[in-house]
């Protein structure tokens, strides 16, 4: 409840032209724009803002510079759009199919498992971590987007936890924010480790640990 506003805000910023998607109709230019974003997303996600050149974007999209710059005024704007897209994709892949009618703990467990099991839909790893690290100290705009992204994710977890407390499934002495911090920290950290070691093991360990922790939050049956 407390965070519903913030959460809705992220969906608004991350969805590119939702009305077009819902209508299923797009103008020629809008289609191209979406294609550019889709094709550019891996480039930025893998190489970072400074490491991705417009030449790379040209190759990835198959368009010439003139064609790209018609749809985005600057590389910065393109990077921002691709980040929103990448984040949106990552969110959809991980929490898109969580049943809101399930128990709060079940929802959280599902979120953790989905995160641990499904690789990032956009090549290059978690866009949130990538952008946070890449943009820190150099690109305030992108950093702000990453900030908003993580806050909305956090808000989502807090909202579910609060719901669980209210419905009596989660112990009332639980701190929702600490739960969110722990889940996100452990998952993102495990992702980093898994990337470096090229192994799924850290993710599985994180998943196990978080699941155990979540179960310990269950309210005792009356």
Partner DNA sequence: ACTCACGGGACAGCCCGTTCTT
Partner DNA sequence: AAGAACGGGCTGTCCCGTGAGT
Name which of a copy of itself, DNA, none residue 120 binds, using a CB cut-off of 5 to 8 Å depending on partner kind. none
CA pair distance 108, 131, nearest whole angstrom = 25
Name which of a copy of itself, DNA, none residue 170 binds, using a CB cut-off of 5 to 8 Å depending on partner kind. none
Length of the chain: 222
- For residue 109, the minimal CB distance to DNA (Å) is 42
Task: Find the binder of DNA among 29, 96, 140, 189 (CB under 7 A).
Answer: 29
Name which of DNA, a copy of itself, none residue 54 binds, using a CB cut-off of 5 to 8 Å depending on partner kind. DNA
- For residue 133, the minimal CB distance to DNA (Å) is 19
Task: Find the binder of DNA among 37, 43, 52, 80 (CB under 7 A).
Answer: 52
Task: Find the binder of DNA among 71, 94, 154, 156 (CB under 7 A).
Answer: 71
Q: Under 8 Å CB-to-CB from 49, ≥6 apart: which residues? A: 75, 76, 79, 134, 135, 138, 139, 142
Task: Find the binder of DNA among 4, 18, 65, 168 (CB under 7 A).
Answer: 65
Size of the site for DNA (CB under 7 A): 23
Query: In terms of Cα–Cα distance, which of 15, 12, 7 is closest to 153?
Result: 7
Give 12 or 178: the residue with its C-beta nearer to a copy of itself. 178
DSSP character string of 18-57: HHHHHHT---HHHHHHHHHHHHHHHHHHHHHHHH--HHHH
Residue 55 binding DNA, by CB under 7 A? yes
Give 64 or 97: the residue with its C-beta nearer to DNA. 64
CA pair distance 180, 169, nearest whole angstrom = 17
CA angle (196 as vertex; 192, 199 as ends), nearest 5: 95
Quick one: angle between helices 104-117 and 75-95, nearest 10?
120
CA angle (12 as vertex; 175, 166 as ends), nearest 5: 25
Give 70 or 118: the residue with its C-beta nearer to a copy of itself. 70
Please give the residue ranges that form the binding site for DNA (CB under 7 A).
27-30, 32, 52-56, 62-67, 69-71, 73-76
């Amino acid at each position: 409840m407390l965070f519903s506003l913030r959460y809705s805000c992220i969906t608004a910023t991350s969805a590119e032209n939702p009305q077009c998607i819902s209508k299923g109709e797009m103008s020629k230019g809008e289609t191209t724009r979406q294609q550019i974003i889709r094709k550019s997303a891996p480039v930025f996600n893998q190489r970072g803002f400074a490491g991705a050149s417009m030449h790379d974007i040209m190759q990835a999209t198959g368009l010439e510079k003139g064609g790209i710059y018609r749809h985005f005024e600057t590389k910065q704007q393109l990077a921002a759009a691709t980040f929103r897209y990448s984040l949106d994709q990552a969110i959809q892949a991980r929490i898109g199919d969580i049943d809101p009618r399930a128990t709060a703990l079940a929802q959280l467990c599902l979120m953790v498992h989905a995160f641990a099991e499904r690789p990032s839909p956009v090549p290059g790893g978690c866009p949130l971590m990538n952008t946070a690290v890449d943009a820190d100290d150099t690109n305030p705009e992108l950093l702000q987007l990453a900030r908003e992204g993580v806050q909305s994710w956090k808000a989502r977890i807090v909202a579910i936890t609060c719901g669980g407390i209210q419905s009596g499934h989660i112990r009332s002495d639980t701190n929702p924010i600490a739960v969110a911090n722990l889940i996100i920290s452990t998952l993102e950290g495990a992702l980093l480790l898994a990337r470096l070691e090229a192994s799924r093991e850290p993710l599985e360990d994180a998943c196990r640990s978080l699941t155990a922790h979540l179960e310990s939050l269950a309210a005792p049956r009356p």
